[in-house]
Chain A
């Protein structure tokens, strides 16, 4: 068994039946503008000018840039788009992802994930109450566009610091010419809180609330809504990455029957690593659901991340669903 093979081979193998499902796109930076001093809008296109995959309102994509992988909300229309637009706030104290995106040059190629939907509007809502704080306007803007094109009723509360409101002109214009939309702007914390309390108290039954902004902003909006007796199922906040399993820590498995070891790097699944090193494992869904890729465990504690095994089975640590699950410890021994 060859650990190098497992960690470097990146191309699909013939054993990998889902290899045809691509999850990433290579795009070019077609345009970039500063919307405010700290918010830069980046426009990404296909190098051959093909239309890009459509997406639902509130979707994000993950940009890989200088070793960082950061999610950003898509602000444009998701209906057969010719381009993807993101607006990125520069966070000098962050992990460096936003700085890297701010450094992207025109024509530069970037690898991005397919759009992922984790903050969609509820189709059956009678009315949508959208609440955006600062840069939290980005997913809200795509909600607003969708509401406009389907004639759905929506109200936006937008709070921002003076001179730092991205997309403001566009939003004012969209709300002015669309009868089903309305907009209320707030430039200070106190006026926003008063406006929020007032808005929460006068929504028709069947309204869904969507909040996006800094974590403490969303928490305070949700707290006010609960105080006003809104049901939990009507409250939605943007939580990046919940649709994705994290890449996990690297670990090594030892194969008790056949001998040898396989190293599983962060971001590679145990199943992928086994297949790349020539171990064939039956599999179907690759999402921890179907149960096909179950492997017996001889020693160690699997970090179960599947939906297949029940709690008892998970606690027994006797098997692992190798498509999504990993190891709590650096080493795991499999009975294969």
Chain B
């Protein structure tokens, strides 16, 4: 039986959003218009808002387990209920446009019908009625896309992280950050405050109008194909970071972790939505593309210490660079 999903393992590299346009990496407000195709040394990516790939069923099932074990990964302040419904409608509309062979949203008044043949789902719900949709709008949305979802409210000339479903966090905690200002959420990041990158980013986001979607990439490194590297599960993955440098299987276990973050002004509620999609590729996989092998090696070798510390890669980045550049 065909699942309708891409099966080739190579798909991961062919669609991998390799994030280094230069030999050095520094923070910048690296936003660009969404839904524009980018060619890479291994293929291309970026033509879609929502990316569904061969890991779709696996990642959705991982998210279900995480949410069942730890409900603090989902949060929604009361005033964000309209934003959650707006996020649901906006993303389901995007899915039915980008994947018409598998997904369809139809609507009459407040009654909507959603069909997703990849999950064998066909259901009706009423916009604004939380009890009409399994788990409410935000949790249901998180069962349809691999992306983590963060909702920001805009008020008092600032952005506030007031809701979201984040099961695949790169070393942060949604439950801890909820209710904070955008600038507070980014408080621990080095350099971006002195260089005013984060205030510029906030200005940009606050001016973003509906219909003009943007995106940016961010990256770090993760040991094994572990999507859930949240603060909550730190005891399960933190110690790997001290041991990996000596591990002969470093090139198999160490992954470049790239986030593609879509920045969407939700049209009905005026809230901002971040869709954070996480991609992992091991050094071994990346090294099959010579240009990437060289570039990642150079970036890791050159990265200033404070940035490496913040990313949590100090203990092994030299070993990784050595493997990439010398092997």
Interface residues of A (CB under 8 A from B): 17-18, 20-23, 53-57, 78-80, 114-117, 120, 122-125, 146, 149-150, 233, 243, 284-287, 289-291, 307-308, 310
Contact = CB atoms under 8 A, between A and B. Distances in A.
B28 A290 contact: yes
Interface in B204-237: 204, 207, 209-214
| Pairs of residues from A and B, 8 with the lowest C-beta to C-beta distance, nearest first | A56-B270, A289-B204, A54-B267, A124-B79, A284-B32, A18-B33, A120-B270, A123-B79
Given A78-B267, A79-B127, A290-B28, A56 B207 contact: no
Contacts of B62: none
Given A17-B36, A150-B81, A150-B82, A54 B268 contact: yes
Contacts of A284: 30-33
A218 to B, nearest CB: 19
A22 B82 CA distance: 26
Contact of B204 (A20, A80, A124, A307): A307
26 contacts: A17-B32, A18-B32, A18-B33, A22-B211, A23-B212, A54-B86, A54-B89, A55-B268, A56-B210, A56-B267, A56-B269, A80-B89, A80-B107, A117-B270, A123-B83, A124-B153, A150-B128, A233-B156, A243-B207, A284-B32, A285-B29, A285-B31, A289-B31, A289-B204, A290-B32, A307-B200
B78 to A, nearest CB: 8
Contacts of B213: 21
Interface of B: 28-33, 35-36, 77, 79-83, 86, 89, 107, 127-128, 153-157, 196, 200-201, 203-204, 207, 209-214, 265, 267-271
A287 B32 CA distance: 10
Contacts of B89: 54, 80
Nearest to A77: B268
A20 B267 contact: no
B84 to A, nearest CB: 11
A79 B268 contact: yes
Given A80-B89, A150-B82, A289-B29, 12 more contacts: A53-B210, A54-B86, A56-B210, A80-B107, A117-B270, A123-B269, A285-B204, A289-B31, A289-B200, A289-B201, A290-B28, A290-B204
A146 B268 CA distance: 9
A334 to B, nearest CB: 23
A80 B273 CA distance: 18
Contacts of B214: 285
Nearest to B82: A150
Contacts of A291: 28-29
Contacts of B36: 17-18, 20
Contacts of A53: 210-211, 267
B57 to A, nearest CB: 30
A287 B86 CA distance: 25
Contacts of A149: 128
Nearest to B81: A150
Which of A23, A57, A308 has the most B CB atoms < 10 Å from its CB? A308
Contacts of A122: 155
Contacts of B210: 53-56, 114-115, 117
